[in-house]
Chains A and B, each alone.
Chain A
């Protein structure tokens, strides 16, 4: 039976060096994909992923077993990505937001309509979704990536982004409205 993340961490902390390697290999692909789609092309994804796992290793003793490891891991990955983007001044801001980060138009809109089938068919062309994601601000993109690709709940996303649940839900709603407009 496959060991849980917490079991691997406990084993590593009690001296089994191999456990960290197993833990890292289990999650490196997910973290890589998340960072790859979060940061602009001019930023080295490998550096961010490497830095993320180095920070994870360095702070492994601080990890609390009652927490979900992936939530903690993605928090570190996201913060590392933002730190790198800040350093390289590559952070882009949404054209849809006001200075205080609110968007009254999208906030008041409801979004219940399904996507037209032709859009889904069109989306078969993988490049389309990839390009759409690049056009959305990182704030919205990260919510979409965490929710739809990494299957985190909104509560977990709130922990990762250090934002209240309502803010996450609102960002998700705005993100899909923006995405719909682009489609």
Chain B
């Protein structure tokens, strides 16, 4: 019974889709990828730009942090009378390390990461986002 129906359906002529149909699908996928890449580019660039702006006050805050910590003063001793410090270099190194404004440095590094990472991703999106499809 089913074999008869199989024979019946085998008489149906297969219809060949237009060759451009698969190209049309691929083009649609590329255009979608392009739209997504453009949105990502705008968001990442904006994020990077905001981080760039934030970097200015953060750097000035870090500079003032260095100044108030006494780090520069300890460091200048090294240039002024390096030989006198030599016998006490371990104590001096410890004092110098303690004077490093870690919070300010961490803040600058974090903001720099927030600037460079989205920038890297935004640049990575440029070829897809701005490729011209015919």
- Measuring CB to CB, which residues of chain A are less than 8 angstroms from any residue of chain B? 20-21, 24-25, 28-29, 32-33, 36-37, 45-46, 49-50, 53-54, 57-58, 111-115, 119-120, 123-124, 126, 129-130, 133, 144, 148-149, 176, 179
What residues of chain A lie closer than 8 Å to B14, measured between beta carbons? Answer: 29, 33
Q: Is the CB of A126 within 8 A of B11?
A: yes
Q: Is the CB of A115 within 8 A of B24?
A: no
Q: Is the CB of B21 within 8 A of A149?
A: no
Q: Is the CB of A28 within 8 A of B22?
A: yes
CB distance from B25 to the nearest CB of A (A): 4
Interface of chain B, helix or strand or loop or mixed? helix
B45-60: which have CB < 8 Å to A?
none
- Measuring CB to CB, which residues of chain B are less than 8 angstroms from any residue of chain A? 1, 4-9, 11-18, 21-22, 24-26, 28-29, 32
Contacts A/B (CB < 8 Å), 27 sampled: A20-B29, A21-B22, A24-B22, A24-B25, A25-B22, A32-B15, A32-B21, A33-B14, A33-B15, A37-B12, A46-B18, A49-B17, A58-B32, A112-B1, A113-B1, A115-B5, A119-B8, A120-B4, A120-B8, A123-B8, A123-B11, A126-B12, A126-B13, A129-B12, A130-B13, A144-B9, A179-B5
What residues of chain A lie closer than 8 Å to B28, measured between beta carbons? Answer: 50, 54
Q: Is the CB of B9 within 8 A of A149?
A: yes
- For the complex, what is the distance from the CA of A20 to the CA of B18, rounded to whole Å? 18
Q: Is the CB of B21 within 8 A of A54?
A: no
What residues of chain B lie closer than 8 Å to A111, measured between beta carbons? Answer: 1
For the complex of A and B, 10 pairs with smallest distance between CB atoms: A148-B9, A32-B17, A115-B4, A53-B25, A126-B13, A123-B11, A123-B8, A50-B25, A36-B15, A57-B29
Question: Of B9, B17, B24, B32, which is within 8 A of A29 by CB?
Answer: B17
- For the complex, what is the distance from the CA of A45 to the CA of B32, rounded to whole Å? 21
Q: Is the CB of A114 within 8 A of B4?
A: yes
Question: Of B12, B17, B22, which is within 8 A of A149 by CB?
Answer: B12
CB distance from A11 to the nearest CB of B (A): 16
User: Which of B1, B11, B13, B32 counts the most A-chain CB atoms under 10 A from its CB?
Assistant: B11
Q: A46-B24, A49-B17, A50-B25 known; A176 and B5 CB under 8 Å? A: yes
- For the complex, what is the distance from the CA of A144 to the CA of B12, rounded to whole Å? 12
User: Which of B6, B29, B32 counts the most A-chain CB atoms under 10 A from its CB?
Assistant: B29
CB distance from B33 to the nearest CB of A (A): 10
CB distance from B23 to the nearest CB of A (A): 10
CB distance from B40 to the nearest CB of A (A): 16
What residues of chain A lie closer than 8 Å to B9, measured between beta carbons? Answer: 129, 144, 148-149
CB distance from A145 to the nearest CB of B (A): 8
CB distance from A133 to the nearest CB of B (A): 8
Residue of B nearest to A124 (CB): B11
